[in-house]
Amino acid sequence: MIRFRLGKLFGHKVEQPTGFQEVHWRSQVLKKDMAFVLYLPASYEQQNAKRYPVLYLLHGSGHNRHSVLHEVQPQRCVSELGEALLVIPDGEQGWWLDSPVLPSSSYGRYVLELVRFVDQRYRTIARRGGRGICGFSMGGYGAMLLASRYPEWFGAVSSLLGPLDIAQLFPEHYRLGQLLGTDLAVWQQYSPAQRAGYLAGTALWFCTAEEAFDRPQNDAFATALRSLGVPFEYRVYAGRHDTAFVREHLREHFGFHRRLFEQDLRD
């Protein structure tokens, strides 16, 4: 039986599944109070000495930690993650990057600060093989960008519907323009497709939909990885760039990270 506790979604009460909790903390990077949703497997409280891998799930534009539970519903497939923690942070509209234009918008360093906080507070496997990062849409972009900028932090990264070649969006994308400015060279520095070489040695899995606006960007990212000889898994499925697609395919991504976590424990 699933029991629930109450949280809030855009000012309204929503249900939180058993095993999930909300954690509040102070971000020194953003200089404000933040919160994340945390999933602890049932064995966490039963095995006081065991340490666990962690998957960080980054939301897309227009979402937050509550809407991920309400609309994406990772609780439906969290068992596929195995014996691991799941962390769902709020990233607001910061695109999970450190803006060279708006110094106060430092959502890349904020994620690293969150990782340190989680490692200090919970019994985690505090090494790259014990950390994965996944995201959808804006969060898929952020996951790939962060993995390319900090490859020593994450052993595996996956993306659903991530715009992985943002140079294709230059200069029309309004929010990226606010964060990155009007210089194409800057956009390219923040584009996973241009940073593909930094992902050698990181396990990669990404997917998109046949009718998604981001498909040409995912294709370009795959081409860049292939040209550099970087191994990866890439799938194009039926569907569109929407929450339903993420909800349908998140299970595969949890399974991908579980395999990598278990491999790290064997090695």
Predicted confidence at residue 16, as pLDDT, reads 76
Q: From residue 238, give the alpha-carbon distance in Å to each of 35, 195, 212, 241, 249.
A: 34, 28, 9, 10, 11
pLDDT on residue 14: 53
Dihedral of alpha carbons 239, 240, 245, 249, sign: positive
pLDDT of residue 47: 82
Which tokens in the block code for residue 49? Answer: 């000495």
Please give the CATH superfamily to which domain 4-266 belongs. Answer: Alpha/Beta hydrolase fold, catalytic domain (3.40.50.1820)
Burial of 28: CB neighbours in 10 Å, binned 0-12, 13-18, 19+: exposed
Distances 190 to 53, 100, 228, 255 between C-alpha atoms, Å: 28, 10, 18, 28
Element (H, E) at 36: strand 32-39
pLDDT of amino acid 267? 86
- Closest Cα partner for 57 from 145, 157, 130? 157
Say which DSSP state 41 is in. Answer: -
Helix axes 138-149, 107-121, angle to 10 degrees: 80
What does the alpha-carbon distance between residue 154 and residue 109 come to, in Å, rounded to a whole number?
14
> What pairs with residue 134 in β-bridges?
57, 158
pLDDT tens-place values along the chain, 267 residues long:
222 232 344 444 456 788 999 999 999 999 999 999 999 999 998 888 999 999 999 999 999 999 999 999 999 999 999 999 999 999 999 999 999 999 999 999 999 999 999 999 999 999 999 999 999 999 999 999 999 999 999 999 999 999 999 999 999 999 999 999 999 999 999 999 999 999 999 999 999 999 999 999 999 999 999 999 999 999 999 999 999 999 999 999 999 999 999 999 998
**3-state secondary structure at position 24:** strand
Instruction: Show the tokens assigned to 177.
Output: 């323009």
Tell me the CB-side half-sphere exposure of residue 240, using CA atoms within 13 A. Answer: 3
